[in-house]
Amino acid sequence: MLKQVSVFAENSKGRLKEITSLLAKHDINILGSVTNDSAEYGIIRMIVSDPEACVSTLRGDGYVCKTTNVLGIEIPDEVGALNKVLEVLDNCNINLDYLYLSFNRESAMPIMVFHTEDPGEVQEILVSKGFKAL
């Protein structure tokens, strides 16, 4: 299971750079991320090297953020790999809220990060089907 940091930030010029600069100053590495925006605010979801330090740092600078459990599944870098995972989830009637890509620096393999209603249950299902969870 991975800890994701979600940051709620004003959708304004330079805001993302402010966040990444702040994390860089505190030696926090961003391992994977996705951003979703609206006209006024956005959500930046990240897998980072130190989630607790990330939240503390960002809150200390006035950002609203939280951590969430997400599932990281290592998949081969080949055609149809993601589809195989999604077929298992579909066959088990599991809905994904969102997903994004990260990278396992130790194994040099892509990691799909999934948010579901019950990441623990989904992890058990995928591991039982031969997938590697982080």
pLDDT along the chain (134 residues), means of 10: 93 90 96 82 92 96 95 94 95 93 85 92 94 92
Q: What is the pLDDT of residue 84?
A: 95
Q: No. of H helices and E strands in the chain?
A: 4, 7
d(CA 63, CA 55): 9
Region of 81 please: left (phi>0), alpha (psi -120 to 50) or beta. alpha
Q: Which of 22, 49, 68 is the last residue of a domain?
A: 68
Same domain, 62 and 83: no
Same domain, 89 and 64: no
- For helices 51-60 and 15-25, the axis angle rounded to 10 degrees is 120
Scored b (16 or more CB within 10 A) or e, 96-113 reads beebbebeeeeeeebbbb
Same domain, 54 and 83: no
Q: What is the pLDDT of residue 69?
A: 95
Q: What is the pLDDT of residue 35?
A: 87
Task: Provide the residue range defining the domain that includes 94.
Answer: 70-133
Structural domains in the chain (count): 2
Q: What is the pLDDT of residue 107?
A: 82
Q: Which of 68, 95, 113 is the last residue of a domain?
A: 68
Reduce the DSSP state of residue 115 to 3 states and report it: strand
Would strands 64-74 and 41-48 be described as parallel, antiparallel, or unpaired?
A: unpaired
Q: What is the pLDDT of residue 99?
A: 93
